[in-house]
Amino acid sequence: MIPHALRRILLPTVALLAVGAGVAYAAGEGAARSAILDGYAAQAKAEAPSFAGFSADRGRALYLGPHAGGKGDANACAACHTPNPAATGRHAKTGRAIEPMAVSANPRRFTDRAEVEKRFDRDCPNVLGRACTAAEKGDFITYLAGQ
Amino acid sequence: MPFPHRIIAAGALVLAAAVPALANPFERVRPVTHEPTRKECGECHMAFQPGLLPAASWNRIMDNLNDHFGESAALAPDVAADIRAYLTGNAAVRGDGGLARITEQPWWVREHRLRPEAWTRPGVVSKVNCEACHRTAPQGLYEDD
């Protein structure tokens, strides 16, 4: 048995530590996402000197489509990820479930640079029929980070 | 003369026991034990077990990831090489190496002569969605039909 007095100190300490760890974890994810966005911003400036920051509205338009020219069956990101990015998606051809795109529903989204690049490398040709610009990638992440 | 009859009867019994066991070696395959294969292939569809296709078929698939049945499934070269080694190293000894699709393999076609409605059931979506009907497909068990 833990003495009552000790328990009074122990419990709040453990609770505080748990909350602290949660905040630190979320902050780590936020920092990783910011670093990815910073990278795209630098790249966007290099691609177009007129670049003046990312836009969640443009990201939303990119997400919802519809687009022409894709080599896959999907004409919008929303075709698989659903128009509500907080919902679980479904691969149009295979039926496989896809974890939500919205950061509020899936905090691990856009925290692994290699993974993010892999998906853009594949899905931009699949949906748009071309590679995405750095500005488009940043717009897309900015939109979904706010969802 | 009872003797030959008995041999024939015994032979028939042995055959009867052996035929179901030989019916389809693809109903029970070793599960995927390679983490990169499970992660990368499993992102868009069930990570199919290497024992479902012969090595030549896996090589066809891994040679064409940029156009993976109409979609890009491109991977970093080192990851792709690692996955290719696992798939070909654990591939089936049977099957048609000229065909890349599991769903075109003769054994698969033979086992899936179903009513058309079976494929349009909600949640099925596609013939590659093994788990829709075979609940234990991810473990490599397809005997539940």
CB-CB under 8 Å, B76 with A114: yes
- Chain B residues with CB-CB distance to A under 8 A? 43-46, 67, 69-76, 123-126, 128-129, 132
Which tens digit of pLDDT belongs to each residue from B68-114? 998 889 999 999 999 999 999 999 999 999 999 999 999 999 999 99
- Closest chain B residue to the Cα of A89, Cα to Cα: B44
Contact list, B46 vs chain A (CB under 8 Å)? 96
The verdict on A95 touching B (C-beta cutoff 8 Å) is: yes
Domains identified in chain A, total number: 1
Contact list, A94 vs chain B (CB under 8 Å)? 44-45, 125-126, 128-129
CA A18 from centroid of its chain's CA atoms:
25
Q: What is the pLDDT of residue B23?
A: 61
Range of the structural domain that residue A82 is part of: 4-145
Question: Rounded CA gap, A128 and A113, in Å?
Answer: 21
CB-CB under 8 Å, B72 with A122: yes
Question: Rounded CA gap, A42 and B10, in Å?
Answer: 79
Instruction: Provide the residue type at B144 as one letter.
Output: D
Q: Where are the domains of chain B?
A: 27-139
**CATH at A92:** 1.10.760.10
What kind and span of H or E run contains A89? strand A89-90
CB-CB under 8 Å, B126 with A93: yes
Q: What angle do CA B11, B17, B20 make, to 5 degrees?
A: 130
The verdict on A93 touching B (C-beta cutoff 8 Å) is: yes
Contacts of B52 (CB under 8 A, 6+ apart): B26, B29, B92, B95, B102, B105
Burial label, B83 (beta-carbon count in 10 A; 0-12, 13-18, 19+): buried
Burial label, A27 (beta-carbon count in 10 A; 0-12, 13-18, 19+): exposed
Instruction: Provide the residue type at A53 as one letter.
Output: G
Q: What is the pLDDT of residue B20?
A: 47
Per residue of chain A (147 residues), give pLDDT as tens.
556 665 666 655 555 555 555 555 667 889 999 999 999 999 999 999 999 999 999 999 999 999 988 776 789 999 999 999 999 999 988 989 999 999 999 999 999 999 999 999 999 988 999 999 999 999 999 999 999
